[in-house]
Amino acid sequence: MLVSSVSSDSHTWNLVFLQLLLEELGHRVTNIGSCVPDDLLVEECRRVRPDLVVLSSVNGHGALDGARAVRRLRDEPDLRGLRVVIGGKLGVTGAGAGAHGPELMAAGFDAVFEDTAGVAEFRSYLDRYATPALAAAAAR
């Protein structure tokens, strides 16, 4: 898995939390940090070849920056099928849960997790769609 923030978000504690959570669940994680430009995200997806990209936002610009980033990934033929999700504070107005979900899904995300939903919905998604690295290695 690859964990990143959106290009305008300099927060890192959310990325560390996500990395620790995912590792605790048995996933291998590459955390590329905060303020990641869209081109670097594309490069790192090609380098790492993750089974899932998790974008996180705390600054409230996740909807704007995230939509642009996922469209950039979807424009690349070799990355078009990559599973990409986003979560956190996605807007600056404090809108309720689901306020940005439809527009972000239309932009190309596979799932959207608004900050008001907490982590349970994200963990449920992982249970359905992401195979932990340890389980994948054992299956080989």
Query: pTM score, two decimals?
Result: 0.90
Give yes or no for residue 47 having a pLDDT over 70. yes
Distance, in Å, from the CA atom of 34 to the CA atom of 22, rounded to the nearest integer, reads 17
Q: Is the pLDDT of residue 138 over 70?
A: no
pLDDT at position 93, please? Answer: 78
In the block, which residue shows the tokens 């995200």?
41
* Backbone φ and ψ of 88, nearest 5°: 115, -155
Q: Which of 20-34, 80-94, 98-112 has the highest mean pLDDT?
A: 20-34
Q: What is the pLDDT of residue 79?
A: 97
Average pLDDT over residues 108-112: 97
CB 49 within 8 A of CB 42: no
